[in-house]
Structure 1
Amino acid sequence: MKTKVKSFTLNEMVIVMIITAIVAGLAFTVLSLVQRHMWSIQQNFNLNTEFNRLEEALWIDTNNYNAMHYSANENTIKFRTSLDSITYHFQLDYVLRDRDTFHMKIEHKELFFNGEQTSKGKVDAIRLELSKKYKDQQLFIYKISDAKQLMD
């Protein structure tokens, strides 16, 4: 007596394999797109974090130190009090603040004292324009002048 075994035909198996390959291909394509998008979000987050770190450091130092002095020869801004000082070195692709490094390119820098633009000496406001990588963001940091700063 012959018994019939229920099974799939070769055509049915090939169709299932093709559909499985298409679904797997779509899944890997979507995964690749999601990974690229997540990488882009991470890069934006890192850039914004670096920008915010520089802005915060400049605000803190501007308000903690009595005097700000810019040296055009050394391309530095020195914040100082009678007890302490801190220096920002502006390089081509980064800004050094003692042991901190801010990896960002400053496209343009303007310095002000008493509302007038200056190129050296005492400073009470800084305007920094960042590169296109940072979506042309700008920083404007200022210190309200007190009598001690005007006397120095």
Structure 2
Amino acid sequence: MMKTKVKALTLNEMVIVMIITSIVVGLAFTVLSLVQRHMWSIQQNFNLNTEFNRLEEVLWIDCNRYNTLILDSQDHKLRFKTALDSTIYRFENDYVLKDRDTFKISIAQKTLYFKGEEIAVGPFDALRLQLSKARRDQQIFIFKTNDAKHLMD
């Protein structure tokens, strides 16, 4: 009888293949984790920029739609008014509320101007909102051209 040798891997070779496979799988999971964290960060920045742009658009529309813009001294709400309609903006720590709309954005600083001068309360014609330094110092500057009624004051 003739002995034939079966070609197979030795136990040492199998262990080496298993070790290499586990290293490759470990690297793949590490890279996947890094990519997922990066994608999550991109999604968070996109959501913040979308909220910021939405707030800016709504403020521009309201600023040009209403002819009277006032900061209430008692509750620090921005009121945009006409003879027939009005809307109110409230600035909280983590969000901005406009009637029933909520903008999930934290405003670090709110500055109001009237005829080029910074004001604390009363009517205003320009508004600057700034995010915190953690959000790259983004800011919105909205202004309204005063009509003849305001120029007479």
Structure 2-normalised TM-score? 0.91
Aligned-pair Cα RMSD in Å: 1.6
Secondary structure of the 2:108 match is: strand
1:41 equivalent in alignment to 2:61: no
Aligned residue for 1:118?
A: 119
Range moving further from structure 2, 27-36 or 1-10: 1-10
1:85 equivalent in alignment to 2:86: yes
1:98 equivalent in alignment to 2:99: yes
Aligned residue for 2:24?
A: 23
Secondary structure of the 1:18 match is: helix
Asked whether the 8 Å contact 1:106–1:128 carries over to 2, the reply is yes
How far off is 1:49 after superposition? 1.1
- State how far apart, in whole Å, the 1-side matches of 2:100 and 2:137 are: 26
1:64 equivalent in alignment to 2:65: yes
Identity %: 66
Secondary structure of the 1:111 match is: strand
How far off is 1:62 after superposition? 0.4
Query: For structure 2, which runs of at least 5 residues remain unmatched after alignment?
Result: none
- State how far apart, in whole Å, the 1-side matches of 2:95 and 2:149 are: 32
- State how far apart, in whole Å, the 1-side matches of 2:8 and 2:34 are: 39
1:107 equivalent in alignment to 2:128: no
Deviation beyond 3 Å, 4+ runs, structure 1: 148-152
Paired AA for residue 57 in structure 2: E
How far off is 1:121 after superposition? 1.4
The verdict on how the C-alpha distance between 1:136 and 1:34 changes in structure 2, with shifts beyond 3 A counting, is: same
Query: For structure 1, which runs of at least 5 residues remain unmatched after alignment?
Result: none
- State how far apart, in whole Å, the 1-side matches of 2:152 and 2:102 are: 33
Task: Count residues in correspondence.
Answer: 152
Paired AA for residue 120 in structure 2: S
- State how far apart, in whole Å, the 2-side matches of 1:77 and 1:65 are: 12
Deviations 1:66-116, CA, capped at 9 Å, x for gaps: 111111211111111111111101222221100111122222221111112
Deviations 1:17-57, CA, capped at 9 Å, x for gaps: 11111111111111111111111111111111111111111
